[in-house]
């Protein structure tokens, strides 16, 4: 169990319709980790990654956990991919696209001479099959992301035409999602289950061997369409559940990358001569959710008071050891339309007293705080919040449940306050805003039952408006409204943390959490 289990990358069920997107919003988080390039890349070597959990399945259409996604992204490539700053898309297996006047037909040109690891060349038939397969699995998989697609046609050998039901700006971002990655037509005659036992793609690496619970190994795809890449011979993900052991393995040279170091030992990880403690800007927001179905959380004053009591910098110092930044808004710095100036409530004793006095429970009350067990950061955060609220005579009992039971309690609204987190999958805010503030968005406003007509109106408008600047204005207003209504107390933005051996070059993690290994190489 670890933090990643909770903030796993998944997507809300709401169909997304919105204006064309662009990546001009500036990013304010400190971007670290651009490793110094040490001369020309060296070919060869095996990259060993020590991780907390084993992958679950290679089926890119039905799988939601990070451990699996990070692996099959190295095998199967989509038409487009995310830029390094995670804010925009760039062509990958496609070379470009044209949009019809009514914005409902997209003509996409494919890159020529791209071969699958089996040697078969990628054509439009493969692209049509791959996208249609994803669309078919909407109820239990990622298919809902293609809900706006009417039809996919293979116009020529290297051109694909996509017809939409209605104007749909984020199409290209959707096509960049791993669930729309390109696989051989009809899975080369295998059934879906058989195919995903040893998936075939056009990516830099191809299937090696998987000893479940122990390690998973991919080997370099020598026929990769980007000549001369990948630099590595193979990549092995070892399952090492204990954080200390992962750290010792990286320091001992038995592993090159610790995929999930503990914050508590993160700084000391770097003190070792051969290991660099790297942080990458993320789209992770950790927040405290109030269940408005339970008294007294339907009272905005109570929510605002509590939000003002929480010492976010203390949490950042004690839990993230200074690596995070206090969160001021619903959106995260790594996401387009994030408004830096959103007046999110921060620690403010005067405000807390004022709001509490104006609330329905001025003398305080007793309540519970639900957290997933086995997560050291959440446990510490909960105890700090408990201590902060204690000063105002709000008695908090911490309730720990194992992650699945915790999630079940949230879904059934059987909690008072709960600690949760969210990371984005595609570079567009709507996925999170709909999940978080739209009660009919399928998740009862992230299980808070928050219902604000104004917020819902703003969010709906933002989805449909095509013009970038109007969308920006709408999202700014939305962030202000949510900051005022405080359905959540935003706690902190936590960067992604990796322990990387100094022999590993060009290792970068995008704000959406994945790390392409195409350009990674190991100096001797």
Partner 1 sequence: MTTFSLTHRFRPSRREARPAARRLRPWYQNRSLVAGLVIVCIMVLLAVLAPVLAPYNPIKQNLNEALQGPSGAHWLGTDKLGRDVLSRLLYGARVDLRIGFLAVIIPFVVGTILGAIAGYFGGWLDIIIMRIVDVFYAFPLFLLVIALVFVLGPGESSIYLAIALVSWVSYCKIVRGEVIVARQQEYVQAARLGGLNNARVLGRHIGPNVISQAITYAMSDIVMDIMVIVTLGYLGLGITPPTAEWGSMIADAQEFITTLWWMAVVPGVAVVITGLGLSLIGDGLTDLLSPERRK
Partner 2 sequence: MLSRLKFVPMRLLQAVPVAFGVTLVVFFMVHLIPGNPAESILGAQATPAKVAALTDQMGLNQPVVQQYWHFLSNLAHGNLGESYTYQVPVLTLVWQRAPVTLLLVAYSVVLMLIISIPLSMLAASRPGHVRDHAVRVIPLVGLGMPQFWVGVMLLLVFAVGTGWFPVGGYGDTMMDHLWYLFLPALTLAISISPVIIRSLRASMLNVLESDYVATARSKGAGGRSLFAGHVLRNAIIPAVSIVGVNLGYLVGGTLVIEKVFAIPGLGSMLIESIFARDFPSVQAVALFVAVFVVLVGVLTDVVYTLLDPRVDLTQRMNA
Q: Which residues bind partner 2 (CB under 8 A)?
A: 1, 5-13, 50, 56-57, 64-65, 139-140, 193, 211-214, 238-242, 244-245, 248-249, 251-252, 254, 402-409, 411, 420-422, 435, 441-444
Angstrom distance (rounded) from CA 224 to CA 215 = 24
* Residue 241 touches which member of partner 2, partner 1, none, C-beta under 5-8 Å by kind: partner 2
* Residue 264 touches which member of partner 1, partner 2, none, C-beta under 5-8 Å by kind: partner 1
> Please, which residue, 21 or 385, has the CB nearer to partner 1?
385
> Please, which residue, 144 or 515, has the CB nearer to partner 2?
144
Question: In whole angstroms, how close is the CB of 461 to partner 2 at the nearest point?
Answer: 22
Pairing mode of beta strands 46-51, 257-258:
parallel
Q: Could you tell me how far CA 245 lies from the centroid of its own chain?
A: 26
SS3 239: strand
* Residue 420 touches which member of partner 1, partner 2, none, C-beta under 5-8 Å by kind: partner 2
- Unique residue bearing structure tokens 């000063």: 391
Question: In whole angstroms, how close is the CB of 290 to partner 1 at the nearest point?
Answer: 21
Question: In whole angstroms, how close is the CB of 416 to partner 1 at the nearest point?
Answer: 14
Q: Counting beta carbons within 10 angstroms of the beta carbon of residue 320, is it exposed (0 to 12), middle (13 to 18) or buried (19 or more)?
A: buried
Nearest to 145 by CA among 122, 168, 163: 168
* Residue 102 touches which member of partner 1, partner 2, none, C-beta under 5-8 Å by kind: none
| DSSP annotation string for 484-506 | HH-SEEEEEE--EEEEEETTEES
- The count of C-alpha atoms lying within 13 angstroms of the C-alpha of 313, restricted to the half-sphere facing its C-beta, is 3
* Residue 506 touches which member of partner 1, partner 2, none, C-beta under 5-8 Å by kind: none
The helix-helix angle for 300-309 and 376-390 (nearest 10°) equals 110
Contact 325, 316 (CB under 8 A): yes
> Please, which residue, 91 or 439, has the CB nearer to partner 2?
439
For residue 296, say if its preceding peptide bond is cis, omega within 30 degrees of 0: yes
> Please, which residue, 91 or 374, has the CB nearer to partner 2?
374
* Residue 326 touches which member of partner 2, partner 1, none, C-beta under 5-8 Å by kind: none
| First CA to last CA distance, the chain | 34
Question: In whole angstroms, how close is the CB of 278 to partner 1 at the nearest point?
Answer: 19
Question: In whole angstroms, how close is the CB of 212 to partner 2 at the nearest point?
Answer: 5
Angstrom distance (rounded) from CA 152 to CA 131 = 8
For 110, residues 6+ apart whose C-beta sits below 8 A from its C-beta are: 79, 93, 94, 95, 122, 123, 124, 127, 158, 159, 160
* Residue 398 touches which member of partner 2, partner 1, none, C-beta under 5-8 Å by kind: partner 1
* Residue 314 touches which member of partner 2, partner 1, none, C-beta under 5-8 Å by kind: partner 1
* Residue 96 touches which member of partner 1, partner 2, none, C-beta under 5-8 Å by kind: none
> Please, which residue, 146 or 251, has the CB nearer to partner 1?
251
> Please, which residue, 13 or 361, has the CB nearer to partner 2?
13
Question: In whole angstroms, how close is the CB of 384 to partner 1 at the nearest point?
Answer: 7
For 321, residues 6+ apart whose C-beta sits below 8 A from its C-beta are: 263, 264, 266, 267
Question: In whole angstroms, how close is the CB of 155 to partner 2 at the nearest point?
Answer: 33
* Residue 262 touches which member of partner 2, partner 1, none, C-beta under 5-8 Å by kind: partner 1
> Please, which residue, 317 or 457, has the CB nearer to partner 1?
317
Residue 166 has a CB neighbour count (10 Å cut-off) of 12
> Please, which residue, 65 or 485, has the CB nearer to partner 2?
65
> Please, which residue, 137 or 317, has the CB nearer to partner 1?
317
- Unique residue bearing structure tokens 């006047």: 101
Angstrom distance (rounded) from CA 31 to CA 166 = 37
Question: In whole angstroms, how close is the CB of 63 to partner 2 at the nearest point?
Answer: 8
For 53, residues 6+ apart whose C-beta sits below 8 A from its C-beta are: 2, 4, 5, 65, 67, 239, 241
Question: In whole angstroms, how close is the CB of 402 to partner 1 at the nearest point?
Answer: 6
Binding site for partner 1 (CB under 8 A): 1, 243-244, 247-248, 262, 264-265, 268, 311, 314, 317-318, 372-376, 379-380, 382-384, 386-387, 397-402, 405
* Residue 147 touches which member of partner 1, partner 2, none, C-beta under 5-8 Å by kind: none
Residue 177 has a CB neighbour count (10 Å cut-off) of 22
CA distances from 249 to 44, 95, 103 (A): 21, 41, 52
> Please, which residue, 110 or 396, has the CB nearer to partner 1?
396
Angstrom distance (rounded) from CA 500 to CA 238 = 15
> Please, which residue, 253 or 343, has the CB nearer to partner 2?
253
Question: In whole angstroms, how close is the CB of 387 to partner 1 at the nearest point?
Answer: 5
Question: In whole angstroms, how close is the CB of 250 to partner 1 at the nearest point?
Answer: 11
Question: In whole angstroms, how close is the CB of 103 to partner 1 at the nearest point?
Answer: 50
Pairing mode of beta strands 417-422, 366-372:
parallel
Contact 144, 150 (CB under 8 A): no
Question: In whole angstroms, how close is the CB of 380 to partner 2 at the nearest point?
Answer: 19
Specify the length of the chain in residues.
524
> Please, which residue, 79 or 145, has the CB nearer to partner 2?
145
- Unique residue bearing structure tokens 């109820």: 139
Angstrom distance (rounded) from CA 319 to CA 380 = 6
* Residue 318 touches which member of partner 2, partner 1, none, C-beta under 5-8 Å by kind: partner 1
* Residue 8 touches which member of partner 1, partner 2, none, C-beta under 5-8 Å by kind: partner 2
> Please, which residue, 86 or 372, has the CB nearer to partner 1?
372
């Amino acid at each position: 169990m670890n933090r990643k289990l909770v903030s796993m990358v998944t997507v809300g069920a709401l169909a997304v319709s919105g204006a064309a997107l662009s990546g001009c919003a500036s990013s304010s988080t400190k971007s670290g980790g651009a490793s110094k390039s040490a001369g020309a890349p060296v070919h060869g070597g095996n990259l060993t990654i020590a991780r907390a959990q084993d992958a679950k399945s290679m089926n890119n259409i039905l799988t939601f956990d990070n451990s699996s996604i990070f692996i099959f992204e190295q095998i199967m490539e989509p038409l487009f991919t995310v830029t390094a700053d995670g804010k925009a898309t760039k062509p990958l297996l496609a070379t470009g696209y044209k949009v019809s006047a009514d914005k409902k037909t997209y003509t996409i040109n494919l890159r020529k001479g791209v071969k699958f690891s089996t040697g078969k060349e990628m054509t439009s038939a493969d692209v049509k099959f791959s996208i249609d397969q994803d669309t078919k699995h909407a109820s239990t998989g990622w298919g809902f992301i293609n809900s706006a697609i009417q039809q996919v046609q293979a116009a020529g050998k290297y051109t694909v035409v996509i017809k939409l039901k209605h104007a749909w700006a984020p199409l290209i971002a959707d096509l960049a999602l791993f669930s729309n990655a390109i696989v051989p037509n009809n899975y080369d005659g295998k059934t879906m289950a058989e195919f995903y036992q040893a998936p075939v793609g056009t990516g830099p690496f191809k299937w090696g061997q998987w000893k479940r619970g122990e390690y998973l190994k991919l080997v370099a795809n020598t026929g990769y369409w980007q000549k001369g890449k990948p630099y590595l011979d193979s990549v092995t993900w070892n399952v090492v559940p204990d954080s200390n052991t992962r750290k010792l393995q990286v320091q001992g040279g038995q592993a090159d990358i610790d995929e999930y170091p503990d914050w508590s030992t993160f700084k000391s990880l770097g003190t070792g001569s051969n290991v660099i403690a790297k942080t990458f800007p993320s789209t992770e927001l950790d927040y405290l959710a109030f269940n408005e179905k339970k008294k007294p959380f339907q009272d905005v004053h109570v929510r605002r008071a509590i939000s003002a009591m929480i010492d976010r910098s203390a949490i950042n110092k004690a839990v993230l050891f200074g690596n995070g930044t206090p969160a001021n808004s619903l959106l995260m710095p790594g996401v387009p339309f994030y408004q830096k100036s959103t007046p999110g409530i921060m620690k403010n004793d005067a405000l807390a007293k004022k709001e509490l006095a104006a609330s329905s429970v001025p003398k305080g009350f007793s309540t519970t705080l639900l957290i997933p067990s086995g997560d050291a950061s959440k446990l510490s955060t909960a105890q700090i919040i408990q201590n902060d609220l204690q000063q105002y005579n709000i008695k908090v009992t911490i309730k720990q449940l194992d992650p699945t039971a915790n999630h079940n309690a949230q879904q059934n609204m059987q909690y008072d306050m709960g600690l949760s987190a969210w990371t984005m999958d595609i570079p567009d805010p709507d996925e999170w805003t709909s999940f978080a503030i739209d009660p009919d968005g399928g998740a009862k406003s992230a299980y808070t039952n928050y219902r604000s007509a104004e917020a819902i109106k703003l969010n709906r408008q933002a989805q449909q408006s095509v013009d970038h600047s109007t969308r920006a204005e709408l999202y700014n207003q939305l962030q202000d409204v949510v900051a005022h209504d405080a359905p959540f107390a935003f706690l902190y933005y936590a960067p992604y943390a990796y322990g990387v051996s100094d022999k590993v070059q060009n290792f970068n993690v995008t704000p959406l959490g994945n790390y392409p290994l195409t350009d990674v190489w190991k100096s001797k």
